[in-house]
Chain A
Amino acid sequence: MMAQQHRPHPYLSFLGLFDLHHDKQRTRARAKMTIPPVTSQALQRPSGGSQLVSSFPSRFIYLRLLAIVLWFRTVWVAFWGPKKPVDQDNELRGKRPRHVAVVFRPLQHSLSSAYDEDGEYQSWMNSVGNIVEWCLSDGVACLTVFDEKGLLKSHAASLAQIVDKLDFCRESADPPVQAKASIQFLVSGSPIDRTQRERTILDEGIDLDPHGVRRPTDEPQPSTSSNKNSESGRHVDLLVNLISASDGRNSLVRVARTLARQALAASRADNPVHLTADVDLIDKLIKADSPDLNQFPEPELIYVVGCQSNFVEIGNLCPWNIRLSEFCAVQGELSFMGYRRGMKQYASCQQRFGA
């Protein structure tokens, strides 16, 4: 088969293709050896221990050893390694948030040449549809959606109609029947009614007065009933609250003005009783601003959609309510994987509450 004098070099045998000698014997030998050169080499037993390390067949042995090591590792992981749950829901069984918030950040600012308000708004509308579906399947009871300019708020009625047409079902274990999920939309904590639908338009400055006070004689009443969760008292599967920048820090401004008016009225009436603005009172007043949401906790998990790579820009959310919320930064759009990541993060977080 092979001429002894043409015993090929172990490393250079594969270089036979570059051999420029046109010797017939060598050509024939090469032809037999190019694919695979290994087999003929493997049969040879090179002499000398030092050759074992550097010669070609020993590399093949290394590959075998590697394969054996990997096999052992797979076996070990299968029997003794950490178990990964097969069912995705098992990962969340520990803790699920009841109130989830989603903050849509604009990808471009409005002076940029690439700014496309309509396109952005459309993608946000689609995202809301997806997020509503995912929240329903995970048993989230309240969803807050924020965008700085209030684009979603101003189209709340059409958004409600679109989501309604999507006909989401709610899971019901007992009785096991597929019923249509009932989703209620709120705008800034209040139900959408016909007059408000007509009133809310794109420009926030016209909807509210310049300092952001919704109604000039607004005296927030404490929530009187605990089951005011819908207009007609029926059970709501998911409450979606659309908010914007005017519901952020302005909520604290409204509380401050209310207390100031009360203090003024008390001092004019020579009433010695005055309310000290402490944490509990302000908490009560802020919650009284949106009574429909009082049965839910503050947002426990906040997705910030449209973030830059490694940081979160929160935007003008109500600072009072984000004290203990977990933040999940999402670049680009919120996909199901991103949503799942946030839920897993919430399920595995350990809140120590200062202790």
Chain B
Amino acid sequence: MSNNSNKSLAVSAEPTNSSLFSSIASSSQRALINLLRIGPIPKHVGFIMDGNRRYAKKLGVQTRIGHVVGSKSLEKTLEWCLDLGINVVTVYAFSIENFKRPREEVDVLMDLACRKFEEFSKHSTFVSKHSIRIRVLGDTSLLPPHVLEAARQAEASTRYHTRAVLNICCPYTSRHEMAESVALAVRGVKEGHLRVDDIDEHLLDRLMQTGEDPELDILVRTSGEKRLSDFLLWQVTKDCQVHFLDVLWPEFSFWNMLPVLLSYQANYTRRQAARIASIAPSPARITWPGSSNPDDQADGTEDEEARGARVERYLQLLREEKMAQ
């Protein structure tokens, strides 16, 4: 739960608009956040940040302004997510398909991303205050060199932050992530770390790029489109609540998220009960790195323990390889 780890309950300073309305709004937001924290809070939330271009068109400005306002909206979203105590936030910043867009727009987006990564890596107050670990998911080999370098720097400098994780998917498609996870499993078998029968849903889950994170609880897509567009497809088919909100990303705020959180809390007990009811006597359970294997006394065969050990060793090997990069 969130309340053990968070100490500060106040949100950071609101922007310069100091009208009566905005101060009432911000204090009621703070009050509501404190109220929500009494109940269950999702551990992992995903956002598809859609609607920047439509916002720019609506205002009659250039597309890049829409993207800039969108990135500001992302910062504000992260602020209240962290105040709520959401541990992991995954955002869909850029899709591999988006490289098809006009060159200027792609350049604008890449520059924005580069600036954001540099800001994160220079220990911005935001990142260090909340102790956020930044991870960049996706096919990073497709990024231009300066962006790739900035992304590596941001990851390396925040590697040991433990309170929260921000996964920036750039450039990412879920099919690519699933293909990578299958490739890693095949490699494990080929190199003798694993057997063919060790490959199952749980292993592929751990091998996904979000393998170290808790299960996805909520996925929010803004701008009213009702599809997933190749984002977290594997994670979403596993007991996740998907909300399609009819608001553009630059206009997205805590107030749009409030009904989402309330319905999460209202459905929490039903969801937990359904989860318990659906747990079949499967051999392997998901275990997080560092934690001990929970319940193997139940089936406790030699095979299961040996299998668990093989899987853990292979995952450790992959982690060490990634650290060494």
Chain A residues within 8 Å of B, Cβ to Cβ? 109-112, 148, 205, 210-212, 248-250, 252-253, 255-257, 259-261, 263-264, 267, 274, 276-279, 282-283, 308-317, 319-320, 322-328, 345, 349, 351, 353-355
Contact = CB atoms under 8 A, between A and B. Distances in A.
A325 B233 CA distance: 11
A327 B236 contact: no
B186 A313 contact: no
Given A315-B237, A320-B175, A327-B244, A354 B95 contact: yes
Given A308-B263, A319-B178, A355-B97, A249 B196 contact: no
Interface in B225-270: 225-230, 233-234, 236-244, 259-260, 263, 267, 270
Contacts of A317: 237
A252 B277 contact: no
Contacts of A248: 237
B211 interface: no
Nearest to B96: A354
B323 to A, nearest CB: 24
Nearest to A277: B183
Contacts of B230: 323-324
A263 to B, nearest CB: 4
B277 A349 contact: no
B176 A253 contact: no
Contacts of B302: none
Query: In the complex, which of the residues B182, B238, B267, B280 has the most CB atoms of chain A within 10 Å of its own CB atom?
Result: B182
A314 B233 CA distance: 10
Nearest to B234: A319
A210 B179 contact: no
A205 B283 CA distance: 13
A279 B230 CA distance: 12
B273 interface: yes
Contacts of A274: 190
B75 to A, nearest CB: 25
Q: Is the interface of B mostly helix, strand, loop or mixed?
A: helix
Query: In the complex, which of the residues A249, A315, A351 has the most CB atoms of chain B within 10 Å of its own CB atom?
Result: A249
B176 A279 contact: yes
B16 interface: no
Kindly state the interface size class of chain B when it binds its partner: 35 or more
Given A259-B186, A260-B185, 17 more contacts: A110-B278, A111-B276, A148-B278, A211-B197, A253-B200, A260-B190, A261-B196, A277-B186, A311-B263, A313-B240, A319-B234, A322-B228, A323-B174, A324-B230, A327-B228, A328-B226, A353-B100
A248 B239 CA distance: 13
B189 interface: yes
Closest 8 CB pairs between A and B? A354-B97, A109-B274, A319-B233, A277-B183, A260-B189, A263-B190, A311-B241, A355-B100
B93 interface: no
Interface in B38-81: none
B204 A252 contact: yes
Contacts of A259: 182, 186
A248 B280 CA distance: 16
Query: In the complex, which of the residues A255, A257, A276, A320 has the most CB atoms of chain B within 10 Å of its own CB atom?
Result: A257
B298 to A, nearest CB: 14
Contacts of B280: 205
A298 B222 CA distance: 24
A264 B189 CA distance: 7
A77 B128 CA distance: 58
A50 to B, nearest CB: 37
A355 B227 contact: no
B295 interface: no
Contacts of A354: 95-101, 229
A310 B227 contact: no
Contacts of B14: none
A255 B199 CA distance: 10
A307 to B, nearest CB: 10
A174 B159 CA distance: 67
B277 A110 contact: yes
Given A311-B242, A323-B229, A353-B100, A256 B201 contact: no
Interface string B75-115: 00000000000000000000111111100000000000000
A255 B242 contact: no
Contacts of B185: 256, 260
Contact of A252 (B99, B178, B267): B178
A277 B180 CA distance: 7
A253 B95 contact: no
A255 to B, nearest CB: 6
27 contacts: A109-B273, A148-B278, A205-B280, A249-B234, A250-B201, A257-B197, A260-B185, A260-B199, A277-B183, A282-B179, A310-B259, A311-B241, A311-B243, A312-B244, A314-B236, A314-B242, A316-B237, A319-B174, A319-B233, A323-B228, A323-B230, A324-B227, A327-B244, A328-B226, A353-B97, A354-B100, A354-B101
B229 A324 contact: yes
A211 B273 contact: no
A263 B183 CA distance: 11
B227 A326 contact: yes
B282 interface: yes
A256 B233 contact: no
Nearest to B243: A311
A327 B226 contact: yes
Given A311-B263, A324-B230, A256 B238 contact: no
B178 A320 contact: yes
